[in-house]
Structure 1
Amino acid sequence: MTAPVEGFSKLSKEAKIRWIASRYTTHPEATEALLKRYWNEDSKLQQLHDEFIENTITNFYLPLGVAPNFLINGKLYAIPMAIEESSVVAAASKAAKFWLERGGFKAEILGTEKIGQVHFLYQGNPELLKSFISYLIPVMKQDASSITANMEKRGGGIIGIELRDKTADIPNYYQLHCRFETRDAMGANFINSCLEQFSASLLREAQNYDGLIKDQGDIEVLMSILSNYTPNCRVRAEVSCPVKKLDEESGLSGDTFARKLVQAVSIADNEPYRAVTHNKGIMNGIDAVVLATGNDFRAVEAGVHAYAARSGQYRSLTRAEIQGGQFKFTLEIPLALGTVGGLTSLHPLVKLSLEILQHPSAEELMKIVAVAGLAQNFGALRSLVTVGIQQGHMKMHLLNILNQMGASKAEKEAMVNYFKTHTVSHNEVVKALEAHRSN
């Protein structure tokens, strides 16, 4: 059994690698060589990457692709996408081209408000607590003024603070529900700094507020933290065109294609097993752009999926309808994104991705990301209701299978040509490559 290690974080990167390789891998020398192969030759750039997280041993690469031809609110974009899954970039590009010829995408911001909360316990008189919080709110804002000054210059800051009585859910539990505007910053550090100051103000002032603590029990702050659920920081993306313009290359008429799309979305809206996969496809597009632009895709995922379940049942994030001969396809989601701060000014490829997107504001990035999700969903549904999902996906996956088998460049070219007219599966690729090699 491998013994625990003391002071691992204080070891050099080389020593960390040697420790990991010698204790947890079968071929330590090969492991060391592999990890060092992914170091950047530019020592300053490597140091920058090393300092993003703790205990760094190497870099983990993902492909960065580009999906061109996205017409959004009359402006043409090429959208950078960082993702490892086959067919995502291809599907987005195909959907962008499809809608480019039908008027493009439209997107609008529905709100930019973000939330943070101070969670605390109090056993005393609720009416006295309400009176205290009314007194406390301007004090908290004043105490946080040094934190909010720069944000206020940019048009952001604290929007509101309110007391919420949650004692019906948990005994003695209350919260300060706080609303913020963070402009082009995602705002996590700003919001958390404000909340921690609110907590300090709450505890300090409670000691001196007449009757609040005496004979009533202490106020106990449990935690102060932002929420990644941002239903009032929301964006809508949509496409629409006459049904007759939806005639499909697969041979479906526009009427049939539109009807199938509407039914497919309806199924996802009513069947959670389908909704999860349906929304996962949307997140393929969203996460890829969020990651490429240095934003927090885990926060986005959590908030979006919570929004999908806001009715009490997990449902589709998209809507499709036919009215008066017009097909309309929409996506509405919460998105808390930033284009300043964090990795946006540090990671060279994040900076490049934002440059490719023409230096968007946070609101513009929200629109772009929502459109990427809508395009991805349209591409997936288009395949599902016509030729099926596997035809395109497995052809994109073909190169992965060939790489696993160590195929040469010439063999890859031969196999790609062969599978233009044959169905791709792992077994069929193995058989075809073996046959090719034996000739």
Structure 2
Amino acid sequence: MTKPIQGFSKLTKEEKIDWIVSNYTHDAESAKIILKRYWNDDEALQNLHDEFIENTITNYYLPLGIAPNFLINGKLYAIPMAIEESSVVAAAGKAAKFWLDRGGFKTTILGTEKIGQVHFMFSGDADKLKSFINSVETKLRSEASDITKNMEKRGGGISKIELRDKTADLDNYYQLHCTFETLDAMGANFINSCLERFAKTFKQEALHFSEFDETEKNIEIVMSILSNYVPNCLVRAEVSCPIDELADNDTDANEFAKKMIQAIEIAKAEPHRAVTHNKGIMNGIDAVILATGNDFRAVEAGAHAYAAKDGKYTSLTDASIENGIFKFWIEIPLAVGTVGGLTSLHPLVKLALEILQKPSAQELMQIVAVAGLAQNFAAVRSLVTTGIQEGHMKMHLLNILNQLGANETEKATLTEHFKKNSATHSAVVEAFENLRKGI
């Protein structure tokens, strides 16, 4: 039985690898070979990667693809996407091409406000607490000025500090609810630093507030942390065209528009469908977030919270037909950055941002939202026409063939075969086995 290890973080990378493969793999030498295969030959670059996180033993690669032909507000983009799932990049590119000659994508920034909170417990007089907050706000801002001065020079900083009474939800629970503008930075470190300074000043000033009795002066600070739910850091992306322009190959424009509306209405009404519907949106969004070195977990959490903002989990996209015009759009909260974090460290992140023509944070919000909308359009379009599996399984074909150990000639032969046949997993296995047998 493997024993717990002390001081793992102090081991060299080689020692960490030796320990993990010896204790947790069946073939230590093979495991070690796999881990070292993914090291970068450039020692400086590998050292950079090793220092991104703790206890690194190797790199974990994801494919970086390009979805071209995105016309956004009249400007043409090729969008980098880092993702492992088959058909996502192809679907995004297909949607971009579809809308390229139909006016492209239009986007609008609806807000850029970020949120952070100091959570605290107070069992005294609520009116006294309100009076204290009013008296201390200027002090809170001035005491944090060393943190905010550079952000303020660029036009950002602290927007608002307000007291929120949450005692109806939890006894004695209050918040300092604070809003921020962080410009091209995602702003997590900036916001958290401000909040921790607020908490320190807040607690100190309470000790000297004359209206508090001795018990009320001992405010209990529980924690100070930004929120990844940013409903006022919001972007809208949309496409539209006359219904008759939706005709494509064998698709009847009116029938297609009707089914698209129905599909969206189902996702709005049924949470089980809405979750999968929104997952498809996040396929596009997460892929761009990853490629640009942003925090996809934060974006995911905020997006799904926004989908449930009215008390029921529902679709993030919407569609309508008005006066013969088909419209398809998304409104989604996106807190992203183009400076700080990995954006200035990871070479591929820097290259991805260069490919995107060095966008500001607001421009990146718009690009990311478009990627999500395009992905959703492509997915729903497939669902209401040919079905999702035809395109997905053909894109997944090479993964299945690689699992089966097909050589390049076999891959070429079977790829050609499945251009005209349904590429289910069992069908691919059967065709591969028949090919090997010479049938």
TM-score by length of 1: 0.99
List gaps (5 residues or longer) in structure 2.
Answer: none
Distance 1:243 1:142, change over 3 A: same
Look up the equivalent residue of 2:269 and give its one-letter code.
N
Q: CA deviation at 1:434?
A: 1.3
Tell me what 1:184 maps to: 184
Query: For each residue in 1:113-147, what CA deviation from the matched residue of structure 2 results, as whole angstroms up to 9, or x when unmatched?
Result: 00000000011111111111101110000000000
List gaps (5 residues or longer) in structure 1.
Answer: none
Look up the equivalent residue of 1:345 and give its one-letter code.
S
Tell me what 2:142 maps to: 142
SS at 2:196 equivalent: helix
Tell me what 1:94 maps to: 94
SS at 1:54 equivalent: coil
Q: What does 1:55-134 correspond to in 2, within 5 Å?
A: 55-134=55-134
Query: For each residue in 1:232-262, what CA deviation from the matched residue of structure 2 results, as whole angstroms up to 9, or x when unmatched?
Result: 000000000000000132x221111101100
1:282 and 1:374 in contact (8 A); partners too? yes
Work out whether 1:152 is the aligned partner of 2:152: yes
SS at 1:142 equivalent: helix
Give distance in 2, aligned partners of 1:94 and 1:419. Answer: 20
Tell me what 2:45 maps to: 45
Look up the equivalent residue of 2:68 and give its one-letter code.
P
Look up the equivalent residue of 2:408 and give its one-letter code.
K
Tell me what 1:210 maps to: 210
1:123 and 1:218 in contact (8 A); partners too? no
SS at 2:70 equivalent: strand
1:167 and 1:173 in contact (8 A); partners too? yes
Work out whether 1:437 is the aligned partner of 2:413: no
SS at 2:216 equivalent: coil
Give distance in 2, aligned partners of 1:17 and 1:213. Answer: 59
Give distance in 2, aligned partners of 1:173 and 1:186. Answer: 28
2:203 and 2:218 in contact (8 A); partners too? no
Distance 1:91 1:215, change over 3 A: closer
Give distance in 2, aligned partners of 1:434 and 1:166. Answer: 64
Tell me what 2:17 maps to: 17
Tell me what 2:270 maps to: 271
Distance 1:394 1:204, change over 3 A: same
Work out whether 1:197 is the aligned partner of 2:197: yes
C-alpha RMSD over aligned residues: 0.7
Percent sequence identity is 68
Q: CA deviation at 1:211?
A: 3.3
Tell me what 1:260 maps to: 259
Look up the equivalent residue of 1:435 and give its one-letter code.
N
Count of matched residue pairs: 438
2:119 and 2:174 in contact (8 A); partners too? yes
Q: What does 1:300-315 correspond to in 2, within 5 Å?
A: 300-315=299-314
SS at 1:159 equivalent: strand
Work out whether 1:297 is the aligned partner of 2:296: yes
Comparing 405-414 and 69-78, the one that deviates more: 405-414
Work out whether 1:416 is the aligned partner of 2:415: yes
SS at 1:111 equivalent: coil
Q: CA deviation at 1:217?
A: 5.9
Tell me what 2:401 maps to: 402
1:248 and 1:257 in contact (8 A); partners too? no
Tell me what 1:36 maps to: 36
Tell me what 2:380 maps to: 381
Look up the equivalent residue of 2:288 and give its one-letter code.
V
Give distance in 2, aligned partners of 1:21 and 1:252. Answer: 55
Look up the equivalent residue of 2:377 and give its one-letter code.
F
Give distance in 1, aligned partners of 2:288 and 2:135. Answer: 44
Q: CA deviation at 1:428?
A: 1.0
